[in-house]
Amino acid sequence: MKKLVDDISPIPEPYQFISILWLSFLMAGVATGVFFSAIDPMELEACVDFPEVGRMGAYSVGFLLFWLLTASSSLLSCYFLLPRKRKTSGDDTTVNQT
């Protein structure tokens, strides 16, 4: 993770954290709202063999899972935006390939 964060140097450090964790937090909130207003976790619990956590627990776990999902998507996006490195004899110049 540290290595990755170092590599995204064109994006300053506060932005690295924000572009991955904070924005995905916002989107996970939206997703949780939409998902659980359409689906009642108690009905879900009745069909799937899942440890009983109650509605509050289901909402919270749902939110954290959504966050994990959105954060990994953001992380991948940031990773793909990395400038590709091309080693030429001696110096390592960073070449932007777009």
Task: Give the interface with another protein as residue ranges (CB under 8 A).
Answer: 12, 14-15, 18, 22-23, 26, 33-34, 36-38, 40, 54-57, 59-60
Range list of H helices, the chain: 2-7, 13-17, 23-38, 41-47, 54-80
Residue 30: both structure tokens together: 């939206």
Measured from the CB atom, the residue of 14 and 90 that comes closer to another protein is 14
Measured from the CB atom, the residue of 64 and 76 that comes closer to another protein is 64
Cα–Cα distance for residue pair 33/85, rounded to 1 Å: 41
CB of 87 to another protein, least distance (A): 25
Measured from the CB atom, the residue of 43 and 88 that comes closer to another protein is 43
SS3 18: helix
CB of 86 to another protein, least distance (A): 23
CB of 44 to another protein, least distance (A): 13
Name, in order, each residue with C-beta under 8 angstroms of 93's C-beta and a sequence gap of 6 or more.
86
Measured from the CB atom, the residue of 42 and 86 that comes closer to another protein is 42
In sequence order, the β-bridge partners of residue 80 are none
